[in-house]
Amino acid sequence: MSTDTDVLVVGAGPTGLTLACDLVRRGIICRIIDRSPGPQEGSRGFGVKPRTLAVFDALDIADTVIQAARADTHLRVYLGTDPIYTGRSEPAAPTADTPYPGPVSLPQSRTEAILRARLAELGESVRFGSCLTGLDQDADGVTATIATDGEEETLRAAYLVGCDGGGSTVRKLLGIGFPGRTEEDMRALLADVEVHGLEPRDAVHLWLGARRMMAVRPWPGAATSQVVTSIAPGRTVEPSVGELTRLVAEHSGRDDIRFGTPTWLSVWRYNLRLADRYRSGRAFLAGDAAHVHSPFGAYGMNTGVQDAYNLGWKLALAVRGRAAPGLLDTYEAERRPAGQAALDASDRGLSSAVTPPRVLRPVVRHLIGPLLSRMRAGGRDDHPTYHDGPLGVQASRRTRVRAGDPAPDGVLTTPRGDRIHLYDLYRAPGFTSLSFDRERQVYVTTPPDYTRGTGHDDPDGTVRDAFGVRPGTTVVIRPDGYIGLIAPTSGPELPAYLPRVLR
């Protein structure tokens, strides 16, 4: 049966937009819809982590995101009303093998705008105001019923992906469970608003207290700040400037902090949930439709973007009829454990924000600096790995990286004398193989056909050092930039690998 589109993406947040960009750049016909009448406002997710920047590099928007974002951190921490820590951390310096060593801060609405612009460059756009109302599947595809401006249409797609948030219509229509917990006593008022009377203005101000917290985070390059302030259990709160002013005064102990007119106000409730399954037939879940977390650690948006990038290349192969049997099942096998790990980490982050009683505050003063340093280091080391996943083959010992790790960057010299980054090679839609010779050369093949490929110079051995492999080793990098195989070039593992992935 013919289809109207190869893939229907439901939901145009960062997850859906990343998936749509990735599919379209791989030559897949994609339609993306969103029930909202237009782009969502609000800062919401603020941190863009290193692995997400690597994904954005592949989509050719990493530089745009970095230019719009803020990489340094100026932080002032208060315990109750007392300032206990002030510090500024400069961004980590890029290296040859790690071009994106640290996170940057950018409101989610701006990240989405950059992704929409990239999608438009690729020739596709979001159909806003379109709501999925029905979903049926058969062996050949998915039939979706979509309501737009009161009129319904039926659309036929080979595959459908629900990227439509925690209240996912797709998940509900598929009958997939979403176990976890919602704690009504853990709520916060969120606002995007100009803040007056709080200095220094470029700092993130963080108040900690027993069972409560508050943060004011300035937007990069704008007068607006994101304000997050916890709400006492049992208290009824209507989002308003008056309520925001009262809560801030209670948490900070100050009555001189004033606010402009908010551009966005919302009440957040604590949810921690993980979908029972990420797939049902030809339909998939990604992002908040599959997992919701606490906001601590900036896991939500980043985990969703990485869901999308893991799924995109697999769907592209499936649409073309080139996916090996079982390839689409590896999406859940790899990403659901990553979702569980993100839930656990964000829950720990929330718990760490609840500080000890006043008698222990002198100790907290001494511990806050090292604690923040560890948190910043954790923010840099955000890369999920698939060491135990079904697509990793580690047949060589004593390597610096392992099958299932994200592949490092590096610079090689082409036969014509041009310098080329490995990330530029990974951007290609297929697999990339790197065969390390004994003469400081790396033979590059894209996609791998198990020949010697084209020799590139690695005069200082920096690329080989980044991978930490011995001469006579071949590394196969998947289309999402992860290492699929590390094996002896002359061994049996190399010719046996791609049939596990490609038909």
Burial label for 420, CB within 10 Å (0-12, 13-18, 19+), is: middle
34 and 14: one domain? yes
| Position 164 pLDDT exceeds 60 | yes
Tell me: do 260 and 277 sit in the same domain. Answer: no
* Residue 482 structure tokens: 């992860």
Instruction: Name the pLDDT band for 1 (thresholds 50, 70, 90).
Output: very low
Q: Given pLDDT bands bounded at 50, 70 and 90, which one contains residue 203?
A: very high
Beta-bridged to residue 229, according to DSSP, are 189, 214
What CATH number is given to the structural domain containing 470?
A: 3.40.30
What's 188's domain CATH number?
3.30.70.2450
User: Does the pLDDT at position 220 exceed 80?
Assistant: yes
What's 279's domain CATH number? Answer: 3.50.50.60
User: Could you tell me if 14 and 148 lie in one domain?
Assistant: yes
380, 404, 439: which is the final residue of a domain? 380
> Among 89-103, 261-275, 342-356, whose mean pLDDT is lowest?
342-356
Tokens of 143: 């039939």
56 occurs within a structural domain:
yes
Residue 218 neighbours by CB under 8 Å, 6+ apart? 195, 201, 202, 203, 204, 224, 225
**Within this chain, do residues 152 and 226 fall inside the same structural domain, yes or no?**
no
Confidence category of residue 352, pLDDT binned at 50, 70, 90:
low
- For residue 15, pLDDT beyond 60: yes
The per-residue pLDDT for 450 is 45
Q: Does residue 81 form part of some domain?
A: no
Same-domain status, 321 and 417: no
Domain count of the fold of the chain: 3
Strand pairing report for 483-488 and 393-394:
parallel
The pLDDT > 70 percentage for the chain reads 90
Q: Counting Cβ atoms within 10 Å, is residue 154 exposed (0-12), middle (13-18) or buried (19+)?
A: exposed
Does 377 have pLDDT greater than 60? Answer: no
| CB distance 456 to 415 below 8 Å | yes
Of the pLDDT bands very low, low, confident and very high (cuts 50, 70, 90), residue 348 is confident
The reported pLDDT for the residue numbered 135 is: 97
pLDDT at 307 over 50: yes
Domain boundary residue, one of 211, 238, 270? 270
What residues pair up with 156 in beta bridges, in sequence order? 143
Q: Distance (Å, rounded) from C-alpha 71 to C-alpha 104?
A: 5
> Could you say which of 208, 242, 270 is where a domain stops?
270
Predicted local confidence at residue 449, as pLDDT:
46
Position 75 in a domain: no
Does residue 236 share a domain with residue 152?
no
What is the pLDDT averaged over residues 182-207? 90
Is 462 inside a domain boundary? yes
- In this structure, the answer to whether residues 266 and 280 fall within a common structural domain is no
Contact 396, 316 (CB under 8 A): no
Radius of gyration of the chain (CA): 24
In DSSP notation, 334-374 reads: HHHHHHHHHHHHHHHHHHHTSPPPGGGHHHHHHHHHHHHHH
Q: Examine the domain organization and report whether 149 and 35 are in the same domain.
A: yes
How much of the chain, in percent, has pLDDT values that exceed 90? 69
pLDDT tens string 421-480 = 999 999 888 899 999 987 789 999 876 544 457 899 998 899 999 999 999 999 999 999
Q: Is 277's pLDDT higher than 50?
A: yes
Is residue 82 situated within a structural domain? no
29 falls within a domain: yes
State the pLDDT confidence band at 118, using cuts at 50, 70 and 90.
very high
Count of CB atoms situated within 10 Å of the CB of 384: 20
264 in the same domain as 193? yes
Tell me whether residue 108 is in a domain. yes
Residues 174 and 53 in one domain: yes
> Domain residues for 338?
5-70+102-180+272-380
Q: What is the pTM of this model?
A: 0.93
SS3 115: helix
Q: Is 154 inside a domain boundary?
A: yes
- Per-residue pLDDT at 360 exceeds 50: no
135 and 168 co-located in one domain: yes
Of 141, 131, 138, residue with least CA distance to 170: 131
Higher-confidence position of 434 and 367? 434
51-106 confidence digits (pLDDT tens): 999 999 999 999 999 999 999 888 998 887 778 888 888 888 999 899 999 899 99
Q: What is the pLDDT of residue 333?
A: 97
Assigned token pair, 92: 């980590």
Q: Average pLDDT, stretch 216-230?
A: 92
The chain-wide mean pLDDT, for the chain, equals: 89
**411/234: higher pLDDT:** 411
296 plus 362 within the same structural domain: yes
